[in-house]
Amino acid sequence: LVMNLKKDGDSTGGIVEVVATGLPIGLGNPNFDGIENRLACVIFGVPAIKGVSFGGGFDMCAQLGSEVNDAFTIDGDKITTTTNNSGGIQGGITNGLPLVMQVGIKPTPSIYKEQHSVSLSQKEDTLLTIQGRHDPCVALRAVPVIEAVTALVILDFLGDIDHELR
């Protein structure tokens, strides 16, 4: 698909899913400094990002609470949940399950196809054709960036815990 779009001079967006495992229970804070808050803040700092969701994401928005609630259960001497619809985060705090986040990335508008635009000097509608570099899907390039900023937020929270323990 991406190679065909490149040949046609067009582009597509994509969704990058990040899963962070091995996180301790308790990273984050409720209210305005939760792990979702900080992750969304830095993720939206990456160009072309148009959406962030956690766990079951936007699909859960059309479901009932009884369908997506993560029921608690005892597993040996550990409390866990039977599902991970919350994406490893409850109330802004990690719960020990994998943190799951989806990041929506828009198609790049700099495509080779002729597009309607405006001539500022002539103050009139015109047609524009982009020349030069063309990325048919910037979502592919975004994967290491999204991973890196996610890791930085997690490390920041881990540093907060380390500082509190000292």
Name the residue among 73, 74, 103 with its Cα closest to residue 87. Answer: 103
> Per-residue pLDDT tens for 103-140?
999 998 888 888 899 999 999 999 988 887 778 999 99
Residue-wise pLDDT for 21-55, tens only, equals 999 999 999 988 899 999 999 999 999 999 999 99
**The pTM is what?**
0.86
- What is the pLDDT at residue 53? 97
The domains found in the chain, sorted by start residue, are: 2-158 (3.60.150.10)
Q: How would residue 160 be classed by pLDDT, with cut points 50, 70 and 90?
A: confident
| pLDDT at res. 107 | 94
- CB-based burial of residue 6 (10 Å sphere; 0-12 exposed, 13-18 middle, 19+ buried)? middle
Burial class (CB in 10 A: 0-12, 13-18, 19+), 80: middle
Q: Average pLDDT in the 141-154 region? A: 96
Could you read off the pLDDT of 53-102 as tens digits, one per residue? 999 999 999 999 999 999 999 999 988 899 999 999 999 999 999 999 99
Work out the widest C-alpha separation in the chain, in whole angstroms: 74
Which residue, 46, 101, 96, is CA-closest to 70? 96
pLDDT at site 164? 61
Is the pLDDT score of 165 beyond 60? Answer: no
